[in-house]
């Protein structure tokens, strides 16, 4: 895939400077008005005994996005000297850049602080099948350091059936699955919280709540206040502009009742075309390279890739071709 290799290679010189001091949390400058792409792809060489879970924690990335960006690489033993792609370039989620935006399909939270020209972004663990995280607009209703956990009866029943009974109250401490802090949401029963098991951040592992790395959670707790808007979406296909070029970022659609589930590659092509039509309503026309689009949709690696440049060619004449 020459287009993808060259895209990564052009970022290596910038990545070298960024990697000298990996940030505890990703804070990225917002792009100029009209643009939607932030950050840069980075590449590091694995050291002996590195794992994706450890590299993800170091560079603020979740397990699923690390695996998607590095097909064919063993996530538990990549091998010393193996090039590891760090997917730290993002198309910002669609909609207002206001408060917190959680995109379930990419296992990621974005926070847009009011009056600042930056975005903070963090990997998340989300609800597994049968305990899906909701799609909703809500807000932060409370902040609690060192929370106790009161497991609901449904979770206690599940643990009891597995031979692992839970007490009615789990006090704060290293065995508390909420970690060192929690945010209550205006959705009863749903939280943003830490964890006593850091593996699983960036996967479908929770009972519907949103899990964060503890260091990320404490950073977020210091900058987000009660009343902050929280918008939860499920967008596996994101489009965005950067310097006159149109980018596409594709994540594997979630399986389950969250919606946007595509059972075939043809369905996914149709979904991408529909999302692009919605995005293009406020944009100029583009001459699309549908071969690249098909490749990105099939790969689902989460890396933003340029698919078109602004052109006098009418987009309406191009959109009918993705299924051919």
The residues annotated as belonging to the active site are 193, 209
User: How far lies 209's CA from each of 169, 178, 195, 250, in Å?
Assistant: 18, 10, 11, 24
Q: How far apart are CA 275 and CA 75, in angstroms?
A: 32
Q: Per DSSP, what are the bridge partners of residue 245?
A: 242, 309
* Number of neighbours of residue 323 by Cβ within 10 angstroms: 12
Going by the DSSP 8-state scheme, the letter that residue 316 receives in this structure is: G
Question: 168: which residues sit within 8 A by CB, 6+ positions away?
Answer: 150, 151, 156
Paired tokens of 159: 């643990």
Look at strands 191-193 and 210-211 and give their pairing: parallel
Question: 166: which residues sit within 8 A by CB, 6+ positions away?
Answer: 151, 155, 156, 159, 160
Give yes or no for a contact between 121 and 110, defined as CB atoms under 8 angstroms apart.
yes
**Tokens 């099948």 sit on residue:** 129
């Amino acid at each position: 895939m020459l287009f993808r290799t060259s895209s990564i290679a052009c970022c290596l010189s910038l990545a070298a400077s960024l990697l000298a001091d990996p940030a505890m949390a990703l804070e990225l400058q917002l792009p100029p008005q009209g643009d939607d792409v932030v950050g840069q792809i980075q590449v590091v060489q694995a050291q002996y005994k590195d794992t994706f879970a450890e590299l993800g924690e170091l560079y603020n990335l979740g397990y699923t996005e690390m695996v998607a960006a590095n097909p064919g690489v063993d996530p538990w033993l990549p091998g010393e000297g193996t090039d590891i792609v760090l997917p730290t370039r993002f198309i910002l989620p669609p909609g207002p850049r206001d408060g917190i935006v959680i995109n379930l399909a990419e296992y990621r939270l974005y926070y847009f602080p009011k009056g600042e020209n930056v975005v903070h972004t963090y990997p998340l663990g989300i609800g597994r099948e049968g305990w899906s995280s909701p799609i909703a607009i809500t807000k932060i209703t409370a902040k609690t350091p060192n929370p106790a956990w009161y497991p609901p009866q449904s979770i206690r029943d599940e643990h009891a059936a597995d031979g692992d009974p839970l007490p009615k109250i789990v006090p704060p401490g290293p065995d508390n699955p909420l970690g060192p802090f929690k945010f209550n949401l205006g959705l009863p029963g749903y939280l943003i919280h830490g964890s006593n098991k850091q593996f699983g951040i960036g996967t479908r592992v929770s009972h519907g709540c949103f899990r964060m790395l503890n260091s990320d959670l404490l950073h977020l707790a210091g900058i987000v206040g009660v009343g902050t808007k929280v918008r939860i979406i499920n967008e596996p296909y994101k489009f965005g502009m950067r310097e006159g070029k149109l980018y596409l970022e594709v994540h594997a659609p979630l399986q389950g009742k969250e919606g946007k589930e595509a059972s075939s590659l043809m369905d996914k092509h149709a979904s991408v075309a529909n999302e692009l039509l919605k995005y293009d309503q406020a944009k100029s026309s583009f001459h699309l390279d549908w071969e690249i689009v098909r490749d990105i949709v099939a790969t689902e690696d989460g890396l933003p890739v340029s698919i078109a440049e602004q052109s006098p060619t009418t987009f309406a004449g191009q959109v009918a071709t993705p299924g051919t």
